[in-house]
Amino acid sequence: MHRSQRAFTLTELAATALILALAAMVAVPSLASVIAHARLRTAAEALADDLSAARRAAITRGGGVTLCPSRDGHHCSHRGRWEQGWIIQHGSVVLSAHDALAHSLAIHASESRDRIGFDAGGRSPGTNATITLCVRKRPATAISVVNSAAGRIHSGPAEAASAAACSRSRENNR
């Protein structure tokens, strides 16, 4: 009994490899975009959660709680460099620290706010603070986290001016 063997020719293997390479070239940029958007949503949620945590801590501790950008996770940085991370502190005690944002993300604070404080009633003296996060150089992705003077925190799509400022902000802060 004679068996015939079947195999792929070199041409068939090369054509299959070419098709797979083309498919990978199309899929990889899309995957990178999906990952960047997921990081953006996670960072915006973390910022909103930390603002809420700072407000709760101020109510519990009788005021004096601040959320501010921090390069080292121990002290507030000045000039609003939020992309380096941030901390929640009560006096000189750090209650919580958040690491730096992924390099693909940028952040811009309204009026270059470099700290947001809460009093014993959970209010945030001063004007509303808007912190906008976005994928670098992509203003359409921007999400703003807003803290009102009354201490209310909400997030949503950014206004055009904030989105544009965010998409440029990381390059300006180097």
Cα 59 from Cα 121, distance rounded (Å): 6
Domains present along the chain, CATH in parentheses? 11-172 (3.55.40.10)
Query: What gap in Å lies between CA 153 and CA 33, rounded to an integer?
Result: 27
Query: Residue 157 and residue 137: Cα distance in Å, rounded?
Result: 16
Edge to edge, the sheet with strand 65-69 lists 93-98, 86-90, 65-69, 116-118
The pLDDT assigned to 32 comes to 82
1: tokens are 């009994």
> Structure pTM?
0.81
Which residue is associated with the tokens 């150089």? 137
Q: Give pLDDT tens digits along the chain (174 positions).
A: 566 667 778 888 888 888 888 887 776 777 788 889 999 999 999 999 999 999 999 999 999 999 999 999 999 987 768 999 999 999 999 999 999 999 999 999 887 678 999 999 999 988 889 999 999 989 999 999 999 999 999 999 999 999 999 988 765 444
**Residues sharing a CB contact under 8 Å with residue 157, sequence separation 6 or more, in sequence order:** 142, 143, 144
